[in-house]
Amino acid sequence: MKILLLCNKSPYPALEGGPMAMNSIVTGLLEAGHKVKILAVNSKKYNVTANDIPENYKQKTGIELIDVDLRVKPAQAFKNLFSKKSYHVERFISKEFTDRLIEVLKEDTYDVVQLETLFMTPYVETIRKNSKAMIVLRAHNVEHLIWERIAKGTKFFLKRAYIKHLAKTLKNYELTAINQVDGIAAITRKDAAFFRKYCATPTIDIPFGVYPEDYTPSFEVNEKPSFYHIGSMNWIPNEEGIRWFIDNCMDAVVAKVPDFTFHLAGRNMPEWLKELNDPHVDVIGEVPDAKAFVTSHNVAIVPLLSGSGIRIKIIESMALGKTVITTMVGAEGILYDEDANIIIAENKAKMSEAIRRINENPAMAVEIGKAARKLVEEVYDNRKLTERLLLFYSQIKPSSKITFV
């Protein structure tokens, strides 16, 4: 098969969740013997140059990066208050991207055009006019749910009102867009169930996959376990969760574990964290080797309050044999067994108690880490997930749906 992937950012280098999820699909399809072509948005926020991509990857994928200005412009953002259009989506509409997409569709014939995230769906009409390919939406999240949750957690009423507007327009767009594609590959069962509720489009859940052999687990836990978090801090739910943990949970944690240290790594650390003067928080920033960082610590803390989809960094930590302490939101999309392969801590009392239990019983972390690794091997092997995706392709048919938002 020939598959064209339209991506909201470059899958390579895979430095954060979205690109990692996209690159796992690319790798799986190539390994299964299919031809892949990538056309990706390139922005200032997530900027990639030709030198960042190995020649071998370029040759296999024919990857092309199209510069699109995704910066939030105050005048346009204000004007959007009086519009029913989604400002989140509108920013991804580009004449340059459209023109190149038309050329790519004329240069070759594709069996599938896969849209990586909702933000690529504005190009459905262009694809329909220039190709007979099936159009599959790879839904990384139920996007509007992220913003609804962020709005609920926003205290300043004017900001909360604006975020609610963004969430409402995004929801209206999302519920229309999911009816315009031929298939939806959601990243979690929960997200798939949501889409099935609101559309008749064939839907499957295909979570993020890894190659277990690429992750050498470390089941050893220090006598005093080392706690960490790693994630891109320019994703609002990550920053929101870390702020909540530091502001609301840290005192309770330190009261139970006086020598507690939280090692915090990730790209785009905000200034408030860089300037944080807390002896219990080790703000490291971006690390050269994420796997090496995770391997050097014992227990992941992922205190997410908002978001949708699956937490790729949790899957990677589990693949490396680590215990993960997270919220129910953080664990969404993972087929976990509470206290067997993950620990759920929904509030500061449960969070501090979970950290105390692990700190006093490192053997528990070893056992949970082993169970977590087993779950990854059984459920999140990328080869198995690619087979499911290819079977899904074979079961859906291209349509001529042309009702566009």
Range of the domain at 320: 213-379
**Residue 66: its pLDDT value, please?**
97
Q: Does the CA dihedral 37-56-232-185 come out positive or negative?
A: positive
The three-state secondary structure class of 30 is helix
In terms of domains, do 245 and 283 share one? yes
Helix, strand, or coil (residue 232): coil
Q: Give this prediction's pTM.
A: 0.83
d(CA 233, CA 28): 28
C-alpha 259: how far from chain center:
33
pLDDT, one tens digit per residue, over 93-102 is 999 999 999 9
Highest mean pLDDT: which range of 18-32, 64-78, 152-166, 294-308: 18-32
pLDDT tens-digit readout, 278-289: 999 999 999 999
Is the domain of 241 the same as that of 364?
Answer: yes
366 near 298, Cβ under 8 Å?
no
Does 145 lie in the same domain as 231? Answer: no
The verdict on 198 and 226 lying in the same domain is no
Give 72's pLDDT tier (boundaries 50, 70, 90): confident
- Domain tally, the chain: 2
d(CA 136, CA 393) in angstroms, rounded, equals 8
Q: What is the pLDDT of residue 404?
A: 42
DSSP string for 236-294: HHHHHHHHHIIIIIHHHHHHH-TT--EEEE-SS--HHHHT---TTEEEEE--S-HHHHH
User: Quick one: tokens of 65?
Assistant: 């990066």
Residue 90 lies in a domain: yes
User: Confidence class of residue 405 from pLDDT cuts 50, 70 and 90?
Assistant: very low
Those residues with Cβ within 8 angstroms of residue 402's Cβ, 6 or more apart along the chain or in another chain: 125, 128
pLDDT digits (tens, 9 = 90+) for 180-201: 999 999 998 889 999 999 999 9
Residues 49 and 195 in one domain: yes
For residue 405, is it within any domain?
no
Residues 198 and 292 in one domain: no
Task: Report the C-alpha gap between 123 and 288 in whole angstroms.
Answer: 36
Mean per-residue pLDDT over the chain, rounded: 93
Please tell me the number of Cα atoms within 13 Å of 387 on its side-chain side.
6
| Residue 279 shares a structural domain with residue 370 | yes
CATH number, domain of 167, equals 3.40.50.2000
